[in-house]
Amino acid sequence: MTRTSILSAETEAAVDTTRVAVSTVIFTLRRAPRSEAPSIALPLVRRTRDPHEGQWALPGGWLDVAEGLDAAASRTLGETTGLAPSYLEQLYAFGAVDRSPTRVVSIVYWALIRPDEVPDESVENVRWFDAVDLPLLAFDHNEIVDYALWRLRNKVGYSRIAHGLLADEFTLAELREVYESVLGRRLDPANFRRQVENSGTLIPTDRFRTGSHRPARLYRYNQDVELADRGPLGIRH
């Protein structure tokens, strides 16, 4: 069989049966009642039809033939949850043959949002879950969340990604809490302070957080550096 005939046969099969979907993992920090430390949370949508009717799934939907991947992610996230983060980053394409009863390749996006960006009123069939304590989700969505958590943990090591979970100004204790939530372990406060101060990525302000503890200086991150550098891709995809 020549290569041309192989490719033609595949074209027919692909046209007939493979569909493209988008899904989005939205991470935020959530402090449970009576809990000392915040935890990573994400919104899930209860499926209202088969397959997996009644199970929780990542927000998402089908790619429209006339929209780009980024646009599809934003649209389906908005339609299902009402959320509209300023920036969604592509995470990974999941395409195992058996991940759905029909053949579906899902392009997964992710974003970090600050707790104050989470809307107060609840949306029908949407609930926020602790990322490390999920029920059995529809399709391969547990695996997708695990992968997103792994990327998040890796990424705090070499990027400013933790700032996506923080307000514009924050104390070093608040920044450390973000790192602890992402990494799932406690960090030594003195070591953390020294490492962050030596990194040169933070700018101290003249303002302090006051309250039940002693006043703590507020920091902001360097606005000249993009939170998530997309490289040469620009905004077109």
Interface positions with a second copy (CB under 8 A): 3-4, 6-7, 10-11, 13-20, 48-49, 61-69, 79-80, 90, 92-97, 103, 105, 107, 143, 146-147, 150-151, 154, 157-158, 231-233, 236-237
Cβ proximity to a second copy: between 37 and 233 the closer is 233
Cβ proximity to a second copy: between 91 and 218 the closer is 91
C-alpha to C-alpha distances, 63 to 18, 74, 96, nearest whole angstrom: 12, 11, 18
For the beta carbon of residue 122, count every other beta carbon within 10 angstroms: 10
Nearest approach, Cβ of 105 to a second copy (angstroms)?
Answer: 5
User: Could you please report the per-residue DSSP string of 26-80?
Assistant: EEEEE--TT-SS-EEEEEEEE--SSSSTTSEE-SEEEPPTTS-HHHHHHHHHHHH
Cβ proximity to a second copy: between 172 and 182 the closer is 182
Cβ proximity to a second copy: between 190 and 235 the closer is 235
Q: Of the candidates 58, 110, 59, 120, which has an alpha carbon nearest to the alpha carbon of residue 85? A: 110
Cβ proximity to a second copy: between 207 and 230 the closer is 230
Cβ proximity to a second copy: between 58 and 218 the closer is 58
Nearest approach, Cβ of 186 to a second copy (angstroms)?
Answer: 23
Backbone angles phi, psi at 54, to 5 degrees: 90, -15
Nearest approach, Cβ of 122 to a second copy (angstroms)?
Answer: 16
What number of CA atoms fall less than 13 Å from residue 174's CA on the CB side? Answer: 20
Nearest approach, Cβ of 151 to a second copy (angstroms)?
Answer: 7
Nearest approach, Cβ of 82 to a second copy (angstroms)?
Answer: 12
Nearest approach, Cβ of 63 to a second copy (angstroms)?
Answer: 6
